[in-house]
A and B are shown apart, each in its own frame.
Chain A
């Protein structure tokens, strides 16, 4: 069979499975607690896999190998530091967020912030920060899905392959279908399947990549080192300060990713967290092998002349699949790629819908809206349409910046307010409000400055600077203000 047809069939089969899971989850979604929290009934394995597959997005499967191809070892700092970020997130957030969720029947992160700070303005601002980050991040995921689908359609001669709008509509239709019907239940069960696919393809790809060149990993490194020793050194071509700014952003930043920490509220028991962390770390580490394997091989084979230079660094994964992988494996990887993108996007759709249908109305009126479940489903569709329009209308250069903006906003707004605030009685509501406002202004300013051609010296990440600034603002203002009073139940939970 034509290899391109095999790839197309794998992707269609994958999408059909997502739709089936959506229909299955529909029967289990009866109220907003089911839709947003899976009724806090998730097991250890499913939560562990959903957590890592939420983080290892399309960026990991496409952008990651592209970064290694372009910069050598530099992006290893993201891979090496994200796992310690997971550990930090579990230490800082997992227990208390789960306790407050159970005590207050919280169904979103802004619910937790409102309970902790006793302030509707904090709830509203957390929801706004989440919404800004979600739209930006979702736009990059949708664009990535459309990009991959366009390549597959083009190689199969499918009608409309040259239309990015057509590809956005097809990929979003599947995503929105299972998110609207099954809410977070469909999302985490597709995450489970998606995570397993990602792990399997990552191992196969790594073995294939290492075996594709004489001398394996050492052989690749020798070629890279011979061309430029710094590219093979621990800082890669980006240099020390740039890598260390990633170290900060991707370690502490994980604590503020709402699609990650929200899932910590959904476990069956508080104690499940202790068994969830090892599963998450193992899954993330194994899938990182794809990032390393493809990136290193493609840089090495282009340098030694056995492969023509890539048109773009982000083509590393696609060219590898066409040139070095068996068609069935390539089909699996493309399905895995969709899995990676969708598993991140579905989480964003769910928390974004919660912000629109649950948190912002509550922050404004103090009450829930009637028929919240119906509005949550409508909000999911509206959010997907908004993000799609944003993805289609924005220039490619901006799309890249939006992904960084999303991670930066989540990290700098939520690390101090949620990560530190849940552990420190002294964290004040004034400080929380100031940190979120600082975060939105700093990240927005950085994107605008970068669009205007300004760059931070030494390749230092703007998101890292925003995170340092907002955390300092939060801690500084809290230290300078009197302790706020707590609701008696939250006061007692803060002592546990």
Chain B
């Protein structure tokens, strides 16, 4: 199946998941409520506000990760070596996200602190954040293999020589 059929399917599922979530009555402080003592701050109620919704949240986030990784993957032509690294990085991204969801499910209160953050938040800060660096490392190190090979550069020179002059200034 073509990658953009998958993009269409994943996007449809993302919207459907969101539509189902939005159609359910929101519990108190679902998106925060004004702090009782400080009017310029909000509070998030208790963890019960996400009860029964974590699975939906996992699906919603996982589909997004799937979409991003699919979009990155389709930029690399099939047959190029080490293409599996994209899938592996996507798998790691998903695993970190699952770690975040599972640790949040066990509760923020009483969770151990990792480098100044409660364990579920540490998954976000020290897990999901550095993953972007991983994709950047892949882009940088595999550029000549995946994105723009020396052969691509030669072909582009040929294209330029053949066509430039036919079109001028942004036509």
**Contacting pair A69 B40 (CB below 8 A):** yes
A293-335 interface code vs B (CB 8 A; 1 in, 0 out): 0000001001100000111110000000000000000000000
Q: Is A10 an interface residue (CB 8 A)?
A: no
Judging by beta carbons under 8 Å apart, are A217 and B116 in contact? yes
Chain B positions 104 through 141: 1 when the CB is less than 8 Å from some CB of chain A, otherwise 0 = 10011100010111101101110011011101110110
Whether A106 sits at the interface, judged by CB under 8 Å, is yes
Residues of A near B135 (CB, < 8 A) are 84, 87-88, 91
- Are A476 and B124 in contact, CB atoms less than 8 angstroms apart? no
Distance in Å: Cβ of B2 to nearest Cβ of chain A: 7
Q: Are A479 and B8 in contact (CB under 8 A)?
A: yes
Query: What B residues does A140 contact at CB under 8 A?
Result: none
A76 at the interface (CB under 8 A from B): yes
Partner of B171, one of A70, A114, A233: A114
The CA-CA distance from A227 to B38 in the complex, in Å, is 11
Q: In the complex, are the beta carbons of A114 and B18 less than 8 A apart?
A: no
Asked if A23 lies at the interface with its beta carbon under 8 angstroms from chain B, I say no
A488 to B109 Cα, complex, angstroms: 62
Contacts of A299 in B (CB 8 A): 41
Residue among A302, A456, A489 making CB contact with B166, cutoff 8 Å: A489
Task: From the candidates B22, B57, B108, B140, name the one contacting A232 in the complex (CB within 8 A).
Answer: B108
Q: Does A25 contact B (CB under 8 A)?
A: no
Please choose the segment from A95-103, A186-194, A196-204, A390-398 that sits at the chain B interface, where 4 or more of its residues have CB less than 8 A away: A95-103
B68 near A231 with CB under 8 A, answer no
B133 CB → nearest A CB, Å: 6
Bound-state CA distance A299–B4 (Å) is 44
Interfacial residues of chain A within 227-246, with CB under 8 A of chain B in the complex:
227-242, 244-245
Task: Give the residues from 41 to 69 in chain B that come closer than 8 angstroms, CB to CB, to chain A.
Answer: 41-47, 49-50, 53-54, 57, 60-61, 64, 67-68
Minimal beta-carbon separation of A405 from chain B (angstroms): 20
**Contact, CB under 8 Å: A277 / B116:** no
Interface size class of A (residues with CB under 8 A): 35 or more
Given contact pairs A91-B71, A232-B118, A234-B120, A241 touches B60 in the complex (Cβ within 8 A): yes
The answer to whether B139 touches A310, judged by C-beta atoms less than 8 angstroms apart, is: no
A423–B7 CA distance with the chains assembled, in angstroms: 13
Q: Do the beta carbons of B163 and A488 come within 8 Å of each other?
A: yes
Interface check A165, CB cutoff 8 A: no
Identify which of B40, B64, B137, B140 gathers the most chain A CB atoms within 10 Å of its CB: B40
Residue A472 at the B interface, CB < 8 A?
yes
Q: How far is the CA of A90 from the CA of B76 in the complex (A)?
A: 12
Chain B residues whose C-beta falls within 8 Å of the C-beta of A99 in the assembled complex: 156
Which A residues lie within 8 Å of B26 (CB)? 457-458
Instruction: For the complex, give the distance between the alpha carbons of A469 and B12 in Å.
Output: 9
With both beta carbons as reference points, the residue of chain A lying nearest to B120 in the complex is identified as A234
Give B67 Cβ to nearest chain A Cβ, in Å: 8
A interface residues with partner B (beta carbon < 8 Å): 69-74, 76-77, 79-81, 83-84, 86-88, 90-92, 95, 99, 102-108, 111, 114-115, 216-218, 220-221, 225, 227-242, 244-245, 247-248, 251-252, 270-271, 273-275, 277-278, 281, 285, 299, 302-303, 309-313, 358, 362, 368, 420, 423-424, 426, 456-460, 465, 468-469, 471-472, 475-476, 478-479, 487-489, 492-493, 496
List 14 contacting pairs A-B, 8 Å CB cutoff, sorted by A. Answer: A91-B147, A102-B160, A103-B163, A106-B170, A115-B170, A229-B46, A232-B121, A238-B44, A241-B31, A271-B153, A303-B38, A310-B40, A420-B71, A489-B159
Chain B residues engaging chain A, CB cutoff 8 angstroms:
2-5, 7-8, 11-12, 14-15, 18, 21-22, 26, 29-33, 35, 38-47, 49-50, 53-54, 57, 60-61, 64, 67-68, 71-72, 74-75, 100, 104, 107-109, 113, 115-118, 120-121, 123-125, 128-129, 131-133, 135-137, 139-140, 143-144, 147-148, 152-153, 155-156, 159-160, 162-164, 166-171
